Amino acid sequence: MGLRLGDTAPNFTADTTEGEIDFHEWLGDSWGVLMSHPADFTPVCTTEIGATAKLSDEFAKRNAKPIVVSVDSVEDHKAWSKDIEETQGCAPTFPIIGDTDRKVAELYDMIHPNEGDTSTVRSVFVIDPNKKIRLTLTYPKSAGRNFAEILRVIDSLQLTDNYKVTTPANWQNGDDVIISPALSNEEAKQYFPEGWNELKPYLRMTKQPNR
């Protein structure tokens, strides 16, 4: 059975481009974004690593640390990083895990045999500071990730962890949010004194509380 939302993210030790790490210790009190790549020196992965590096400030603003795993060696990762810097204009600013024995890939069920080989699919795990898995995404090898979506969901998770709201379809940071259906109107008045727009008793829209 694969990992589910709310499960504790499995810990591991691994060699990376920034030295050996204990995953949970490396995360510390940060959010983590663990992403797998099918192989080094491949075109889609090259663009994804570059995109992640360019977003380093955005991840930092969210107290989130990206980390990447591939079934190739750390030596290959370091050589590949030069290509990434040359073609994408930005070198990796985060660890890339060497996983030649596929220990991490198997721990996180990143190898899907129906995809054709023993390399990893494009998995994403968003992990909170309590080491709980909060989001999983699995892309086919042919499709690059949407990093705006990954950041958007981190924004949503961090908002809804701290306020009694949920976020609607296509929500962006700053948009109106939904008051939790678990709150009665009387309770909602305590948290949202400026009121809300009640479209249905279960659909009450209000301004984002931390803006």
| pLDDT tens digit sequence for 139-193 | 888 889 999 999 999 999 999 999 999 999 999 999 999 999 999 999 999 999 9
pLDDT in tens, 96-125: 999 998 899 889 988 765 555 556 668 999
Alpha-carbon distance 44 to 12, whole Å? 27
* Whole-number Cα distances in Å, 123 to 32, 46, 149, 202, 207: 13, 15, 14, 34, 33
Q: Please count the structural domains in the chain.
A: 2
134 with 179, same domain: the answer is no
- Strands (E) across 72-176 are located at 96-98, 122-127, 133-139, 165-166
172 with 73, same domain: the answer is no
Overall pTM > 0.75: yes
Q: Are the beta carbons of 151 and 124 closer than 8 angstroms? A: no
Alpha-carbon distance 143 to 67, whole Å? 19
Q: Confirm whether 154 is domain-assigned.
A: no
pLDDT in tens, 52-110: 999 999 999 999 999 999 989 999 999 999 999 999 999 999 999 999 988 998 899 88
Q: Are the beta carbons of 48 and 145 closer than 8 angstroms? A: yes
Q: Confirm whether 54 is domain-assigned.
A: yes
201 with 129, same domain: the answer is no
Q: Confirm whether 155 is domain-assigned.
A: no
Q: Confirm whether 156 is domain-assigned.
A: no
Domain span including residue 179: 163-206
Q: Are the beta carbons of 205 and 175 closer than 8 angstroms? A: no
61 with 22, same domain: the answer is yes
Residue 39 has a pLDDT of 84
Q: Confirm whether 5 is domain-assigned.
A: no
180 with 122, same domain: the answer is no
Q: Tokens for 100?
A: 């030649």
Catalytic-residue membership of 45: yes
> Positive or negative, the Cα torsion across 49, 141, 133, 99?
negative
Strand 96-98's sheet: what is its strand order? 19-22, 13-16, 96-98, 64-70, 31-37, 122-127, 133-139
CATH number for the domain that contains residue 130: 3.40.30.10
Q: Confirm whether 151 is domain-assigned.
A: no
Radius of gyration over every alpha carbon of the chain, rounded to an integer in angstroms: 19
pLDDT interval class at 135 (50, 70, 90): very high
51 with 138, same domain: the answer is yes
41 with 128, same domain: the answer is yes
CATH number for the domain that contains residue 194: 3.30.1020.10
108 with 36, same domain: the answer is yes
Q: Of 9, 33, 45, 111, which is the active-site residue?
A: 45
Residue 120 has a pLDDT of 60
